Amino acid sequence: MMAADRDAGAPLFQLEAWAGSRLSQVESALERWVTADASPGASHAAPAALVEAMRYAVLDGGKRLRPLLVLAAHEAVVADSRQGAEAALRAACAVELIHAYSLVHDDMPCMDNDVLRRGKPTVHVRFGEASALLAGDALQALAFELLTPDGEAVPALQQARLCSLLARAAGSAGMAGGQAIDLASVGHTLSEAELREMHLLKTGALLQGSVLMGAHCGTPDARALAALQDYGAAVGLAFQVVDDILDVIADSSTLGKTAGKDADNDKPTYVSLMGLERSQAYAQELLTLAQQALQRSGLANTLALAALADMVVNRAH
């Protein structure tokens, strides 16, 4: 996957190469941190069966978009990528753990009741409902543990800021709140404004939070931070629009999850509200908004962020 530099005649940005090197760091860190080993200061290791379910939920699967957004935003705001690198890696893994926990819980019979995720049986199918619930709980807790390491690698003020951003993105005014609206909306017709608000919370909040967490691993100025916030909102909403499109046009093997599930469950989506063609056009409009936000950020190194936005929207083609 390649995305063009915004300047005419500039070399193409190699997203695949950029992402590959960073994802190897993320995968290695997740492999190292999601274990049965006792945390520093803890008196007991985690139960092996619980850790097995946690690792099943988070390792060896997924696009890792949220960690990539963290790392791209971090690199955009620092002159030297070594500045805040430990905080950025921990933030990248923390948002992936929150995302993984949300998928475990969303797939359970009390919510979406899905049996396929990332091309394999969902956690509750593989381990049972009680173990899935506990694995999700433990992944959520581990996310915040990663953001608060002992020592001086991540300053206390930065730890607090990252925890605040992640909690806000995942909580009642973010992802969890959006899921609550989604469940309450089954069988109901929403306006475009209501659907937008639901998805800005359910999906967009954690994607936008990933961008902001990455930025706060550096020291962004107010102009850059405002632009990155707008970029994150546009990309977050675009991701859900495209997800709705893919639910209609892709098959289960391509998606790695059950295709057509939203229509079968009578859930409101962008395609059901606006139609396929208008939804596709709206995704492109959101891509333009994301690109415009990067242009006004004043940041010199936004090629990775631009390429990720393009990937999010054009994965439907």
Give tens-digit pLDDT for 23-82.
999 999 999 999 987 565 566 788 999 999 999 999 977 899 999 999 999 999 999 989
What percentage of the chain reaches a pLDDT higher than 90?
A: 79
Residue 136: count of CB within 10 angstroms of its CB:
26
- 263 within 8 A of 278, measured Cβ to Cβ: no
CATH code for the domain defined by 12-314: 1.10.600.10
In terms of C-beta distances under 8 Å and separation of at least 24 residues, what long-range contacts does 124-131 make, across chains too? Answer: 126/53, 126/56, 127/49, 127/52, 127/53, 127/56, 131/49, 131/50, 131/53
Binned at pLDDT 50, 70 and 90, residue 3 comes out as: very low
Q: Reply yes or no on whether the pLDDT at 4 is more than 50.
A: no
d(CA 275, CA 200): 19
Give tens-digit pLDDT for 197-246.
999 999 999 999 999 999 999 999 999 999 999 999 999 999 999 999 99
pLDDT for the residue numbered 10: 45
Binned at pLDDT 50, 70 and 90, residue 7 comes out as: very low
Written as six digits, the tokens of 290 are 């994301």
Q: Which sequence spans correspond to the domains of the chain? A: 12-314
Give tens-digit pLDDT for 98-153.
999 999 999 999 998 999 998 899 999 999 999 999 999 999 999 999 999 999 99
